[in-house]
């Protein structure tokens, strides 16, 4: 039995590391235990195909981190530890079956001109949205970046009323409740413009007709234009390595291959953890669990009926399949060579198909035409591949965790080991239809199925990369459940963090940072 920390943290994902850095600044000793063979959770990088090619395992976009309150406080320290961002001026684009394409970058007027080619009225709408964004962002980021404690909520609401009056506050509330399709149909006329923005909703479990999803296409479009998109130089794992360097330099410990089997509870208080190997590690002040709610339930057992039920019934989004490619060259996009300059290219032709894909995955079917997100990180960071070569980061969204059938009618497999290659072939067929000759450029590939994502990181239940649906019934004050959005639990000294806790998924480290501030205030 060891007692060498004030705070024991379960899991080494971004939120765990953010909490640890906040706690250490207040002089607390931290010990982190990670079940995987390397730290970082979904934010790590490696040579998953061939030596010399660096791939991001899951997360690639670090824009949320770069603009986060956490980075504002710890950015200098992380930069000194080696973290460097690589910015993109050409942020994201969509290619369409009719040969057209639309890209969004950091030049607002250039974006408006591209949109003008699809619909004149939409270009003016874009200019209006761009002009209004600074004021809108002030209120939205205030909500997304603060807790739901009474004082914070009252402050944000009072500020909102003063600036926008009651009518403006009600309009903002209506927008936050709208589905992507409702907002996009109300705002734009071009189907191409709508689809380009709606594709971002699929990153966060918001198919076009899911209430509450309008915020994410709007924020991604406006924030990318206003602030740009960034990735980590050398891989997304650079942020994990910088954070680990800061933590260990202050005496913190990170132990990998250390699966936590049980949270130790004595007289109603969390006092440490027991690992799968039987060793126990005590915490003088607190235990922080960066785990999916269902897994937390297994670690603590029955506590009280309402809390137990909330942990067990927490809903996860459909899964994701990753395809990592080492390639001789970037895709030869038929629509335009300019697509080779974008960090992301979405292949999501229209909102109807996105909605269908989502429903197929929810029903346990392999989608016949999944949304494909093509990340082109070596456009921004050539250091990730040998000279003249490239890496591609493909997300296949959405796919089922448990396969019940195939919407395309051609894949007979009902388990991921057997379905992985034919589903990859389907995804590559889609990419090849927009970029002929891609397969001939492939040097090596690595397929990561939903089951493999969860095996590597149990928080990604069923391959759910966002650790839980962000639908309205499980977001804001309800994430992960009513009354627990601040990371508290019914057990004294036990706290919950990670993407399952408000403000949810992404690389902004919001849950971990807010919890760290709560424990040191």
At 246 the pLDDT is 98
* Residue 3 pLDDT level (bands cut at 50, 70, 90): low
Determine contact, residues 270/264, Cβ cutoff 8 Å. Answer: yes
Residues 395-422 have a mean pLDDT of 97
When mean pLDDT is compared across 86-90, 141-145, 425-429, 477-481, the lowest value belongs to: 141-145
Q: Which of 350, 92, 340, 347 is nearest to 221 (CA)?
A: 92
CATH of domain 2-45+58-84+235-315+459-520: 3.50.50.60
Quick one: what percent of the chain has pLDDT higher than 70? 98
Checking if the pLDDT of 37 tops 70, the result is yes
Residues 364-390 have a mean pLDDT of 98
Tens-digit pLDDT profile for residues 264-310 = 999 999 999 999 999 999 999 999 999 999 999 999 999 999 999 99
Checking if the pLDDT of 2 tops 60, the result is no
Quick one: what percent of the chain has pLDDT higher than 90? 92
Checking if the pLDDT of 229 tops 70, the result is yes
* Residue 164 pLDDT level (bands cut at 50, 70, 90): confident
At 150 the pLDDT is 62
Evaluate the omega torsion of the peptide bond into residue 395 and state whether it is cis, within 30 degrees of 0: no
Checking if the pLDDT of 224 tops 60, the result is yes
Can you state the percent helix, strand and coil of the chain, rounding each to 5?
45, 20, 35
Q: Which residue do the tokens 């970046």 mark?
A: 145
Checking if the pLDDT of 456 tops 60, the result is yes
C-alpha–C-alpha distance, residues 366 and 419, integer Å: 9
At 175 the pLDDT is 92
How far, in Å, are 11, 36, 65 from residue 43 at the CA level?
12, 13, 12
Checking if the pLDDT of 454 tops 70, the result is yes
Checking if the pLDDT of 1 tops 60, the result is no
* Residue 157 pLDDT level (bands cut at 50, 70, 90): low
Residues 246-272 have a mean pLDDT of 97
At 154 the pLDDT is 66
To 5 degrees, how large is the angle CA 314–CA 317–CA 321?
A: 140
At 226 the pLDDT is 95
**313 class by beta-carbon count within 10 Å (0-12 exposed, 13-18 middle, 19+ buried):** exposed
* Residue 142 pLDDT level (bands cut at 50, 70, 90): confident
Q: Which of 96, 73, 40 is nearest to 456 (CA)?
A: 40
Q: Which residues contact 120 (CB under 8 A, 6 or more apart)?
A: none
Produce one character per residue of 173-203: b if its CB has 16 or more CB atoms within 10 Å, e if not.
Answer: eebbebbbbbbbeebbebbbbbbbbbbbbbb
Checking if the pLDDT of 228 tops 80, the result is yes
Computed from CA positions of residues 300, 305, 307, 309, in that sequence, does the dihedral angle turn out positive or negative? positive
Residues 233-249 have a mean pLDDT of 98
* Residue 166 pLDDT level (bands cut at 50, 70, 90): confident
Q: What is the pTM of this model?
A: 0.95
C-alpha–C-alpha distance, residues 384 and 89, integer Å: 19
Q: What residue spans define the domains of the chain?
A: 2-45+58-84+235-315+459-520, 107-227
Residues 40-61 have a mean pLDDT of 97
* Residue 239 pLDDT level (bands cut at 50, 70, 90): very high
Task: Give me the count of residues in the chain.
Answer: 521
Query: What's the whole-number average pLDDT of the chain?
Result: 95
Determine contact, residues 476/502, Cβ cutoff 8 Å. Answer: yes
C-alpha–C-alpha distance, residues 145 and 209, integer Å: 26
Residues 52-71 have a mean pLDDT of 96
Q: Which residues contact 137 (CB under 8 A, 6 or more apart)?
A: 222, 223, 226
C-alpha–C-alpha distance, residues 271 and 282, integer Å: 6
Token readout for 39 is: 């730290």
* Residue 139 pLDDT level (bands cut at 50, 70, 90): confident
* Residue 379 pLDDT level (bands cut at 50, 70, 90): very high
At 271 the pLDDT is 97
């Amino acid at each position: 039995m060891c007692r060498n920390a004030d705070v024991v943290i379960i899991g080494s994902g971004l939120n765990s590391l953010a909490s640890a850095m906040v706690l250490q600044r207040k002089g607390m000793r931290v010990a982190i235990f990670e079940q995987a063979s390397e730290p970082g959770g979904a934010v790590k990088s490696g040579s998953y195909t061939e030596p010399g090619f660096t791939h991001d395992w899951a997360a690639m976009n670090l824009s949320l981190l770069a603009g986060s309150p956490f980075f504002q406080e710890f950015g200098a320290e992380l930069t000194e530890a080696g973290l460097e961002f690589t910015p993109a001026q050409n942020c994201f684009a969509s290619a369409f079956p009719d040969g057209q394409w639309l890209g969004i970058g950091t030049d607002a007027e250039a974006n408006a001109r591209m949109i003008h080619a699809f619909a004149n009225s939409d270009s003016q709408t874009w200019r209006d949205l761009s002009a209004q964004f600074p004021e809108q962002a002030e209120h939205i980021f205030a909500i997304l970046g603060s807790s739901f404690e009474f004082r914070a909520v009252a402050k944000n609401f009072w500020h909102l009323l003063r600036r926008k009056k009651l009518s403006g506050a009600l309009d903002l509330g209506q927008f936050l409740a709208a589905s992507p399709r409702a907002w996009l149909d109300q705002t734009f006329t071009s189907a191409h413009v709508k689809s380009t923005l709606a594709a971002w909703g699929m990153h966060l479990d918001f198919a076009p007709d899911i209430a509450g999803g309008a915020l994410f296409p709007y924020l991604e479009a406006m924030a990318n234009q206003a602030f740009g998109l960034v990735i980590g130089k050398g891989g997304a794992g650079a942020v994990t390595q910088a954070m680990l360097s800061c933590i260990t330099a202050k005496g913190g410990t990170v132990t990998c291959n250390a699966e936590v089997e049980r949270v130790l509870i004595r007289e109603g208080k969390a006092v440490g953890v027991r690992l799968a190997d039987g060793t126990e590690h005590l915490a003088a002040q607190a235990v922080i669990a960066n785990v999916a709610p269902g897994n937390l339930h297994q670690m603590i057992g029955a506590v009280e009926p309402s809390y137990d039920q909330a942990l067990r019934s927490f809903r996860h989004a459909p899964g994701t399949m990753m395809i990592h490619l080492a390639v001789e060259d970037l895709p030869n996009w038929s629509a335009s060579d300019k697509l080779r300059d974008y960090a992301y290219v979405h292949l999501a032709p229209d909102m109807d198909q996105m909605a269908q894909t989502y429903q197929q995955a929810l029903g346990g079917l392999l989608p016949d035409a999944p949304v494909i997100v093509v990340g082109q990180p070596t456009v921004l960071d050539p250091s990730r591949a040998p000279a003249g070569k490239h890496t591609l980061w493909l997300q296949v969204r959405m796919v089922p965790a448990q396969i019940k059938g195939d919407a395309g009618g051609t894949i007979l497999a009902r388990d991921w080991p057997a379905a992985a290659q034919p589903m990859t072939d389907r995804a590559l067929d889609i990419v090849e239809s927009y970029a002929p000759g891609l397969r001939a450029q492939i040097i090596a590939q690595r397929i990561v199925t939903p089951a493999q994502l969860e095996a590597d990181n149990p928080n990604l239940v069923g391959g759910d990369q966002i650790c839980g649906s962000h639908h309205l019934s499980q977001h804001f004050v309800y994430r992960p459940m009513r009354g627990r959005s601040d990371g508290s639990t019914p057990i004294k000294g036990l706290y919950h963090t990670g993407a399952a806790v408000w403000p949810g998924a992404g690389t902004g480290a919001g849950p971990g940072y807010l919890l760290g501030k709560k424990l040191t205030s």
